[in-house]
Amino acid sequence: MKLLFELSKENRRMNLIPPCDVPEYSFDESLLRKEELRLPQISEVDLSRHYTRLAKQAHGVNDGFYPLGSCTMKYNPRIDEEAAALEGFTAIHPLQPQSTLQGALQVIYEAKELLCEITGMDDMTFQPAAGAHGEYTGLLLIRKYHQSRNDTKRVNIIVPDSAHGTNPASATMAGFKVINVPSNENGGVDLEALRNAVGEDTAGLMLTNPNTLGLFDPNILEITRIVHEAGGLCYYDGANMNAIMGTVRPGDMGFDCIHLNLHKTFGTPHGGGGPGSGPVGCKEFLKQFLPKYTVSKNMDGNYYLDVAENSMGKVRSFYGNFLVVVKALTYIKSLGKEGIKEASCNAVLNANYLMNKLKGYYDVAYDQICMHEFVLSLDKMKHETGVSAMDVAKQSLDFGIHPPTMYFPLIVHEALMLEPTETESKETLDEAAEIFIEIARMAHEDPEYLHEAPHNCLIRRPDEVEAARKPILRYEFENDQ
């Protein structure tokens, strides 16, 4: 496929830039560039076709099934986008007088109240821009807490091996040392190992729950008790809230702080490069350290920006990605109390339905009732046929399905992780099951064919490390100096 610069023809033009509506200003000659910018020259119709062609090569939730585990690629209602596009939200500036921003502040305030109710927390900041940023912010809360008590020997954060990969990374970024604890044979935290890991140097525990195996830890109350008794705090990675919202609350399980991924669970599409939002909720005793600003309401019913007593300062400019908060509030209000619970119950039901359809054709890594996602291990298939998790994932592309998450979590060999989400119908799940069963049959009959998959995609097997580490983001002109 040709790039824009390759489509360029001298003096092709279009008229997309609106007329200038501010006074023109002439810069000094010395400040002007000496050569013309090398921009592609292209007509409007060719530009439109170029992007339409590109869009057709991509796969989104609107194209088909997207069971990318750990990512909650569900369909997000249009009404969320409509609310976020309202001029009263898009045409405001954070430095306007607060009296003229009452509606926007009310959105943040109400979203905070509702999400605190859903998570069982007492206060929340919307500053963090995404999940990992929220983890970092939550860990700074824990750090501030220990510092405020002059408890400076608490430098360790305990992270189970079934945690999301961002957990150890964020703990390290926040200046802690990461202590790994293994899983037991049921995929939960090994309690004996946890008891041995905690001590006077424990700052806290970060728990991804449901964990990356899609399992809810049945010992969760015991886990938080062990950590609290050792003097540590408990951080809940709530990016998987889609499995439990409306049913159980991390605040009731003994957790002191949590982050959510609004761009997974609450009405903003995940992927596409953002923006996201990773609000952090906390219990009363941690409120004093929250980043500035938070939104409060005074006796007269007016909203205002508040600064916590011992605030850690800012972790991002202004109030975070505000329009994502608008979408979250719209999402929660349009579903209502019952709808929120029903959504997560259906996410769990759909995952169990699909898992049971695939059993017998694929090995389930931890064969028990799952939450919103489950993990297959293709270890045996690979031994028997040579077909790997990568081959199966690539073949699913030819059937118009986005591949599951591959080789994650790391504790499962040849892992494929599927998260169907609640917005898929039974028909879609049945169809997807048939496709994966067909791929399992192909693996035994014609493994060579799967090694070459996908057969119908423009890009087939890129060097993924190279693509991630050294992306080519700039057009190389032939006569470039």
Ligand X SMILES: *Cc1c(COP(=O)(O)O)cnc(C)c1O
Which stretches of the chain bind ligand X, using CB under 6 A?
Answer: 70, 130-132, 164, 166, 208, 237, 239-240, 261, 276, 278
Minimum distance of ligand X from residue 138's CB (angstroms): 11
112 or 164: whose CB is closer to ligand X? 164
166 or 311: whose CB is closer to ligand X? 166
269 or 276: whose CB is closer to ligand X? 276
Minimum distance of ligand X from residue 320's CB (angstroms): 13
119 or 261: whose CB is closer to ligand X? 261
CA separation for the pair 412, 405 (Å, rounded)? 12
Minimum distance of ligand X from residue 171's CB (angstroms): 12
Rg (CA), the chain: 25
Minimum distance of ligand X from residue 239's CB (angstroms): 3
C-alpha torsion 68→69→71→72, nearest 10: 90
CA separation for the pair 454, 317 (Å, rounded)? 43
121 or 130: whose CB is closer to ligand X? 130
Cis, peptide link before residue 275, omega less than 30° from 0: yes
Minimum distance of ligand X from residue 387's CB (angstroms): 27
318's CB contacts (< 8 A; 6+ apart) are 94
303 or 322: whose CB is closer to ligand X? 322
Minimum distance of ligand X from residue 464's CB (angstroms): 18
C-alpha torsion 277→156→154→294, nearest 10: 0
Sign of the CA dihedral with 70 first, then 73, 74, and 78 last: positive
124 or 381: whose CB is closer to ligand X? 124
**Which SS3 state, helix, strand or coil, does residue 280 take?**
strand
DSSP lists the bridge partners of residue 418 as 68, 374
The letter for the amino acid at 388 is S
275 or 447: whose CB is closer to ligand X? 275
- Residue least distant from ligand X (Cβ): 131
Minimum distance of ligand X from residue 128's CB (angstroms): 9
CA separation for the pair 51, 1 (Å, rounded)? 11
Per the listing, tokens 């489509």 go with 7
163 or 450: whose CB is closer to ligand X? 163
C-alpha torsion 240→245→249→253, nearest 10: -40
Per the listing, tokens 């509606």 go with 103
Minimum distance of ligand X from residue 45's CB (angstroms): 37
Give the 3-state secondary structure percentages of the chain, helix then strand then coil, rounded to 5. Answer: 40, 10, 45
Minimum distance of ligand X from residue 154's CB (angstroms): 23
173 or 437: whose CB is closer to ligand X? 173
Q: How does DSSP classify residue 233?
A: E
| Cβ–Cβ under 8 Å, residues 365 and 376 | yes
Minimum distance of ligand X from residue 66's CB (angstroms): 15
Per the listing, tokens 């014609």 go with 446
CA separation for the pair 415, 172 (Å, rounded)? 26
